[in-house]
Amino acid sequence: MSAATALDAAALAGLPPGAAPTYDRRALTPGVLHVGLGAFGRAHVAHYCEDLLATGDTDAAVVGASLRTGAITAALGPQDGLYTLIESAGGEPSLRVIGAVAALAHGSEVADHVAAPATTVVTVTVTEKGYCRDPRTGGLDLDHPDVVSDLAPDRDPSRAPRSLPGALVDGLQRRRRAGGADLAVISCDNLPANGEVTRAVVTDLARRRDEDLATWIDEHVTFRSTVVDRIVPAATDEDRELVRSRLGVVDRAPVRAEAHRLWVIEAPAPDGGVGGMPAWDRVGAVFTDDLAPFQDRKLRLVNALHSAAAYLGLAAGFDTIAQAVADADLRAWLDRLGVEEIEPTLPAVGHSGSGDPAGPAPAPGAATAEVLDRFANASLRHRCAQVGADGSQKLGPRILATAAIRLDRGDPVVGLATVVAAWSAHVGAALGRGAALEDPLSGPLSVALERPAEADRVRALLEVITAPDALLDDDRFVAAVVAARRERGWA
């Protein structure tokens, strides 16, 4: 191509060798509905589906759905669902056009596809806050405005649901009425037992509408938990220019990701329990009947160190995670946090990058070093502010769970408390200068910061993010956070 043209189906024939899908997109049957068509969903679920389609499994195509904003569907629509995946391993990135998204849905169309007979599995990436979950009860957050709207007795049934649970319940209600087949729902967000979280909010909302529907869901819908691991930063103008220069097309919605990826899916024994799910294990996913060890290592090591690098990086004035990890002092501090405070609390699941539970356990410190090496990939340009967003939803499983374990053992929590201190400083700085804090609990966090005594402010912040009782009832942790704030000049 001598000049850049818009990426669409007609442009595929002119792409450089190896860049276009190798299968006939006209023969695809979308069996996967993916809700939450942001960068991660397209770089993870759709990528696995792409690899499976390349083996000849035409049922692994995706309907890409967006509940609220139509921006991504508006970008992908003119591109016939096509977009470029930029994989960065540290050197020259590889570019590949993904064709797995065979159809798009938005708003009320999401429920239509949940009910569609062709849909055998629903995958979800809506971030932690998208589940409208009350962390105190584990059920639906009945005060969430989207839930209030979806449960309103005078709600117009033709209006699109506002929440994820509402969209799933609307679709499952139609599926039940039509005598539809059983369905698997798979959460791919960074939540402990994310399948159970999804089950809880969906059945809670369903029960408040129709007890029989809730019973049907219990009997005919399987909610599977997963562990996902791939760094996917927000796309930039530089990414779009890279696609234009390398492939000769204008792509309005490219995604950039690291080469590393891991997807572990709960599939109980004896037969793997894969049901109607695509055979993702043929292209690198792992089916297991014991997800807990993988989950602990992902949330409490990879995600914990990511949050730590973000908040300590922001405090030091760094823009990206790679810049933060490139600082020798901060990298050494993160290494100590991982090796001394986090790794000793984790179960062994074989090599951290392989997902093979039968593989040899990594040597002490090896898992932390591998994670920090991934973070050091400067080509990803993952911003500290992006990783640090929605901290109230993330600190519990990533940091506080490990702190509770260590306190119960009588072990020090200086590093973990420092991460919480850095987060509290970030929250205070943003709210103190009148800036918008990207966090669904920004209001309650602001109120917590009004406490006059520093220890009371820290305790109030922990209460807002529903810290484990073991931490709230233990003065040692609050004292450690206060000490870190003072030592670092964040008080």
Smallest CA-to-CA distance from 228 within 262, 196, 198 is with 262
What's the DSSP call for residue 383? B
- Does residue 35 register a pLDDT over 60? yes
* Run of H or E residues at 217: helix 211-220
3-class DSSP assignment, residue 73: helix
In whole angstroms, how far apart are CA 359 and each of 3, 294, 307, 368, 410? 49, 13, 28, 17, 31
> Between 402 and 491, whose confidence is greater?
402
Q: Which domains does the chain have, with CATH numbers?
A: 5-288 (3.40.50.720), 292-488 (1.10.1040.10)
What Rg, from alpha-carbon coordinates, does the chain have? 23
Predicted local confidence at residue 136, as pLDDT: 84
pLDDT band for 89, please (50, 70, 90 cuts).
Answer: confident
Decide if pLDDT at 116 tops 90.
yes
Q: What is the mean pLDDT of residues 298-308?
A: 98
Q: Kindly tell me if the per-residue pLDDT of 359 is higher than 90.
A: no
**Got the DSSP string for 128-156?**
GGGG-B-TTTSSB-TTSHHHHHHH-TT--
Percentage of residues in the chain with pLDDT exceeding 70? 95
Question: Coil, helix or strand for 104?
Answer: strand
Residue predicted with more confidence, 448 or 350: 448
Residue 491 pLDDT: 84
Q: How far apart are CA 48 and CA 63, in angstroms?
A: 14
Q: Output 300 or 355, whichever has higher pLDDT.
A: 300
Q: What's the average model confidence in pLDDT over 22-50?
A: 97
Return the DSSP state at 435.
P
Q: In the predicted model, what is the mean pLDDT of the chain?
A: 94
Burial class (CB in 10 A: 0-12, 13-18, 19+), 261: buried
Q: Within a 10 A sphere around the Cβ of 410, how many other Cβ atoms?
A: 7
Residues 167-192 pLDDT 10s = 999 999 999 999 999 999 999 999 99
- Report DSSP state, residue 105: E
Q: In this structure, how many other beta carbons lie within 10 angstroms of the beta carbon of residue 208?
A: 15
- Both tokens of 74, joined, read 């508006």
User: pLDDT-derived band of residue 401, with 50, 70 and 90 as boundaries?
Assistant: very high
**Residues, the chain:** 491
Give the per-residue pLDDT at 363. 83
* pLDDT score at 2: 53
Sequential DSSP letters for 336-349 = HIIIIIIGGGSPP-
> What is the mean pLDDT of the segment spanning 273-298?
89
Q: Residue 24: which pLDDT band, with cuts at 50, 70 and 90? A: very high
Mean pLDDT, residues 378-402 taken together:
97
pLDDT band at 299 (very low <50, low <70, confident <90, very high): very high
pLDDT above 70 (res 352): no
Q: Is the alpha carbon torsion for 448, 449, 453, 459 positive or negative?
A: positive
- Please give the pLDDT value at position 459: 96
d(CA 482, CA 456): 10
